Amino acid sequence: MRYARIPDQAVQRLAMYLRAVLVLQDRGIWHVSSKDLAGQVGVNDWQVRKDFSYFGELGTPGVGYDLRKLQRDIRRILRLDKKRSAILVGVGNLGKAILAYGGFARYGLRIMAAFDNDPQKVGKVVNGIRIQDVSMLKRIASGKVSLAILAIPAASAQEVVDCLVDAGIKGILSFAPCPLKVPKKVRVVGIDIAMHLATMPYYLSSD
Amino acid sequence: MRYARIPDQAVQRLAMYLRAVLVLQDRGIWHVSSKDLAGQVGVNDWQVRKDFSYFGELGTPGVGYDLRKLQRDIRRILRLDKKRSAILVGVGNLGKAILAYGGFARYGLRIMAAFDNDPQKVGKVVNGIRIQDVSMLKRIASGKVSLAILAIPAASAQEVVDCLVDAGIKGILSFAPCPLKVPKKVRVVGIDIAMHLATMPYYLSSD
């Protein structure tokens, strides 16, 4: 079932709660108070309770939240309760780091194909995935894949994004340091490393 | 001079405006309307005018904003009007990608040192920077460096962060997929690639 529209900030926090829940479960912990969970994520406990109210999770006074139920609930609301595949475009150092990273599985996410425009890379196998030519992007079975990670320079980003949208990709995580134009139905999250670093000096108290 | 506290979301948008301004200037454009700038960044033009009101930038009716003045103003408010150095901890694939990336300079940012705990890497030179042992983090001249980029696994992240805080680092951009505890005076921006991707299925309209 689909829930009432949840604010983007809350969706991001829900993912952070899920991450914290997984970390706690790894430590063999089965229950957590909103206060402890808030501490893990760096928010106030009233924020935790408000966010959980989106899916009616109330916890048990004195016992707190059952982490197994919490994980199940958050996965359901974030639609991570089924396995999902993503593709990677751009297999430079960043792309290689992403292919080598094992952290996607815990969210039920899997990178099932990688693409690059460098003939030197096409055909090579990185972490068990054979790199295909970007021209093959058209062939993506949009029914099977809805997510893409973009690890390419700004220059070719929009062209590749248009191609991904045509192929039926609905969510794009982009490391290209530029704005991208997509139809309303497509979600883009941009991670511009230099720009993120550039937001920090504002907070430097002493200089 | 310091300005009134600006909301985090606005600080992030100001960095996006700055990026857009730089792109427009690269194209030889010298004036832009709030509408066109909004389109570049993907916000409404009233949002642009509201954000610019934080530093009293009003633009000229019919002419729009002078991009040179806008760039200067945004750099000043984001405290990017002086060159700043950052260090990198973790020189795996992601760290290498960061060292190879030329996009920091446009914000006046420079990675001036890199650290790793792998004896195989220490002493090697990547993109003109000699990799030092993490034990050398203590020696950072905190007066010269206030920013750090963390490209290491979760396991060792908190330990390294404590070390960075002791060394006087005030801003940390972390790719470690875990929450980090820091004193209030230290700013941490976390980029957890898998978690960011995990927020996307919620927005997938059709499945």
Q: What is the DSSP string of A15-43?
A: HHHHHHHHHHHHTT--EE-HHHHHHHHTS
- How many CB pairs (< 8 A) connect A and B? 185
- C-beta atoms of A19 and B147 within 8 A: no
Note down pLDDT in tens along chain B; length 207 residues. 455 588 888 999 999 999 999 999 999 999 999 999 998 888 898 999 999 888 777 777 778 899 999 999 999 999 999 999 999 999 999 999 999 988 899 999 999 999 999 999 999 999 999 999 999 988 886 678 899 999 999 889 999 999 999 999 999 999 998 888 899 889 999 999 999 999 999 988 655
Same domain, yes or no, for B98 and B165?
A: yes
Same domain, yes or no, for A100 and A187?
A: yes
Tell me whether strands B65-66 and B84-89 are parallel, antiparallel or unpaired.
unpaired
Q: Give the total number of structural domains in chain B.
A: 2
Please write the tens of the pLDDT for every residue from A136-169: 998 886 678 899 999 999 889 999 999 999 999 9
- Tell me, letter by letter, the H, E, C secondary structure of B16-51: HHHHHHHHHHHCCCCEECHHHHHHHHCCCHHHHHHH
What's the pLDDT at A4?
Answer: 58
Q: Are A41 and B190 in contact, with CB atoms under 8 Å apart?
A: no
Q: Are A116 and A90 in contact, with CB atoms under 8 Å apart?
A: yes
What's the pLDDT at B60?
Answer: 76
Same domain, yes or no, for A92 and A163?
A: yes
Asked whether residue B201 is assigned to any structural domain, the reply reads no
- Any CB–CB contact under 8 A between B72 and chain A? no
User: How many angstroms away from the CA of B33 is the closest CA of chain A?
Assistant: 17
B-chain residue closest to A204, CA distance: B170
A207: pLDDT strictly greater than 60: no
Q: DSSP letter at B106?
A: G
- C-beta atoms of B84 and A201 within 8 A: yes
**DSSP H or E stretch at residue A136:** none
User: By C-alpha distance, which of B67, B74, B7 is closest to A203?
Assistant: B7
- Any CB–CB contact under 8 A between B206 and chain A? yes
Reading the block at residue B206, the tokens are 């059709």
User: By C-alpha distance, which of A161, A55, A103 is closest to B155?
Assistant: A103
**Can you tell me the distance from the alpha carbon of B64 to that of B58, in angstroms, rounded to the nearest whole number?**
9
Same domain, yes or no, for A109 and A187?
A: yes
Asked whether residue B120 is assigned to any structural domain, the reply reads yes
What's the pLDDT at B1?
Answer: 42
What's the pLDDT at A134?
Answer: 93
What is the average pLDDT value for chain A, to the nearest integer?
90
Residue span of the structural domain in which B37 resides: 8-77
Same domain, yes or no, for B91 and B62?
A: no
pTM value is: 0.87
Same domain, yes or no, for B63 and B115?
A: no
Please write the tens of the pLDDT for every residue from A93-123: 999 999 998 889 999 999 999 999 999 999 9
CATH of the domain at B168: 3.40.50.720
Asked whether residue B100 is assigned to any structural domain, the reply reads yes
Reading the block at residue A101, the tokens are 């990273």
**Can you tell me the distance from the alpha carbon of A98 to that of B81, in angstroms, rounded to the nearest whole number?**
33
Tell me whether strands A171-174 and A145-150 are parallel, antiparallel or unpaired.
parallel
Q: Are B34 and B45 in contact, with CB atoms under 8 Å apart?
A: yes
What's the pLDDT at A205?
Answer: 67
Asked whether residue A204 is assigned to any structural domain, the reply reads no
**DSSP H or E stretch at residue A154:** helix A154-166
Q: Are B17 and B32 in contact, with CB atoms under 8 Å apart?
A: no
CATH of the domain at A49: 1.10.10.10
User: By C-alpha distance, which of A111, A93, A89 is closest to A160?
Assistant: A89
